[in-house]
Amino acid sequence: MPFCYYPDPVGGTETYVAALAEAQQANGYEIAITAPGEKNQTYMHQGFPVHRFGVGSMSLRQLYGEGDPTAAANVEEILDRVRPDILHLHAFTGAVSPPLARSAGLRKIPVVFTYHTPTVTCCRGTMLEWGNRVCDGEMRVKRCTGCMLDGKGLPKTAGMLLGTLPPAAGRFAGTAGLKGGIWTALRSTELVAIRHTAVRRFLLEETDHIFAVCDWVRTVLVANGVPPGKITLSRQGTRTPSPLPAGTTARAASPAPSSPIRLAFLGRVDRVKGVDILIDALALLPRLEVRLDVFAVAQGEEARRLEKELVAKAHFDPRIRFMPPVAANDVVETLCGYDALLVPSQVLETGPLVIYEAFAAGIPVVGSALGGIAELVRNGETGLLVGERSATAWADAIRRLIEEPGLLRKLKAAPKPTRSAKDAAGDAAKVYAALLNPTAVFAGSLQGKEI
């Protein structure tokens, strides 16, 4: 159960879920996908039944806590109809919420959860405390309230002050029906406290096992009281690519850079993904011979508005091209035609999956020195890490990539780590088996391990 699913516009998590499902099916599992949608419907997509469940409206308390009751009721019907042996959640949202896990528990269905994004435990959604330093991830109402309000544009001092209000003050405002603007801000400590309670209960009581897809996620889970034995570190993996056209991989493996140098960005249209920083960085390098192709996926009206803004911003730079999104099956082959992938994320990523896809294509990655990116990219070996979140720092990295003698050739030639969805499916199979047969000799041996 991911956040959304095809044929809707999807992100890295859904791409990974589709690849994982294919690998699990090849291992003999019967797979069904379920995800929120505009209405209840069932259809087939690439050989899998997809059960979409309709969502309803939520109060603020439901949005931060128990989630959408309409969605929960619709999922109960799906569970009774499909009767799965395992429910594997790949999201934690208002629609994919704690009652779903409880419903599965009442039906004796083990629940596995994969932590994919910082929004699970971080109300700001970035895991950057006050937006400028990596947070330890421990959920604390006062600190998290101030940081969340700062992220919404409230001055830091005002956010810190509102963070000191007791949750009871917010409950009073909510009971009185006061909402919008300052009243919602006054309710923030109450809402954050509700969120923290719901998340802790979900992680500690309503899930049977949790997959952390990177080291920092495992650290955050432990910081919030999840027993280490309940966590397995299992990184994402790419869809096993179909045979590429003859010579494709050879072109990617060639250490000789293109002329001009070809750079690519693949990801969602979102300010946290940093495309605007790349545009500003190239503006600081007007004479540099380079081409940047942006393969961006716009999900929702806000993203489409931002996409138009970014296209207009890059309009006067012919070196930057906005390209149609790439189908998941074609990402590796597409990246084979580039010299490097740029990943300027401004939040702690848990992957991202596209880094493994770049490595599968044989090209280096220039990425932000944050979270999962910093865990995957070896600075100066398989790519470059950019320590400062600024256009100037990115301009320096791009200039270095192109002008430093032999650097790009060295980065392209270096062996790249790879991981496939087949590897991830093998990890999941071991945990599933342990949950379905807890008395097996091997059941306890997997807990808390990196596999």
Which pLDDT score is estimated for 182?
60
Please state, in angstroms and rounded to a whole number, the distance separating the CA atoms of residues 304 and 308. Answer: 6
CA distances to 62, 94, 111, 378 from 99, rounded to whole Å, are 11, 10, 12, 41
- Tell how strand 111-115 and strand 87-89 pair up: parallel
- 407 and 424 together in one domain: no
Residues 269 and 220 in one domain: no
With contact defined as beta carbons under 8 Å apart, do 60 and 174 qualify?
yes
Q: CA 424, CA 234: separation in Å to the nearest integer?
A: 6
Range(s) of the domain holding residue 19: 1-239+420-451
Total domains, the chain: 2
**What CATH number is attached to the domain comprising 94?**
3.40.50.2000
Residue 159 confidence (pLDDT)? 79
CB contact set of 293 (below 8 Å; sequence gap of 6+): 262, 263, 264, 265, 321, 323, 338
Together in a domain, 387 and 266: yes
12 and 124 belong to one structural domain: yes
Q: Are residues 303 and 252 in the same domain?
A: yes
Pairs from 58-64 (Cβ < 8 Å, separation ≥ 24): 58/94, 60/174, 60/179, 60/184, 60/187, 60/191, 61/174, 61/191, 61/194, 62/94, 63/94, 64/191, 64/192, 64/194, 64/195, 64/198
Distance CA 52, CA 251 (A): 41
State pTM to two decimals. 0.89
pLDDT for the residue numbered 329: 86
What is the CA angle 136-140-143, rounded to 5?
Answer: 85
Q: 267 with 228, same domain?
A: no
Name the region of 269 (left: φ>0; alpha: ψ -120 to 50; beta: rest). Answer: beta
Three-state SS sequence of the chain: CCCCCCCCCCCHHHHHHHHHHHHHHHCCCCCCEEEEECCCEEEEECCEEEEEEECCCCCHHHHHCCCCHHHHHHHHHHHHHHCCCCEEECCCCCCCCHHHHHHHHHCCCCEEEEECCHHHCCCCCCCEECCCEECCCCCCHHHHHHHHHHHCCCCHHHHHHHCCCCHHHHHHHHHCCCCCCHHHHHCHHHHHHHHHHHHHHHHHHHCCEEEECCHHHHHHHHHCCCCHHHEEECCCCECCCCCCCCCHHHHHHCCCCCCCEEEEEEEECCHHHCHHHHHHHHHCCCCCCEEEEEEEECCCHHHHHHHHHHHHHCCCCCCEEEECCCCHHHHHHHHCCCCEEEECCCCCCCCCHHHHHHHHHCCCEEEECCHHHHHHCCECCCEEEECCCCHHHHHHHHHHHHHCCCHHHHHHHCCCCCCEHHHHHHHHHHHHHHHHCCCCCCHHHCCCCEC
Spatial CB neighbours of 405, under 8 Å, sequence gap ≥ 6? none
Work out the number of other CB atoms within 10 angstroms of the CB of residue 285.
Answer: 17
Per-residue pLDDT reduced to its tens digit, 292-310: 999 988 878 898 999 999 9
Answer yes or no: do 229 and 338 share one domain.
no
Residues of the chain with pLDDT below 50 are 172, 176, 178, 242-243, 246, 250-251, 441-445, 447-451
Q: Both 135 and 151 in a single domain?
A: yes
Verify that 378 and 291 share a domain, yes or no. Answer: yes
pLDDT at 409: 94
**Are 302 and 171 in the same domain?**
no
53-108 pLDDT tens trace: 999 999 888 999 999 999 999 999 999 999 999 999 999 999 999 999 999 999 99
Domain identity same for 294 and 403: yes
Instruction: Return the structure tokens found at 363.
Output: 């090209």
Do 403 and 427 belong to one domain?
A: no
pLDDT at 187: 85
- Interhelix angle 275-283/301-313, nearest 10 degrees: 10
- Report the distance separating Cα 72 and Cα 278, nearest Å: 41
The rounded distance, in Å, linking the Cα atoms of 285 and 262 is: 15
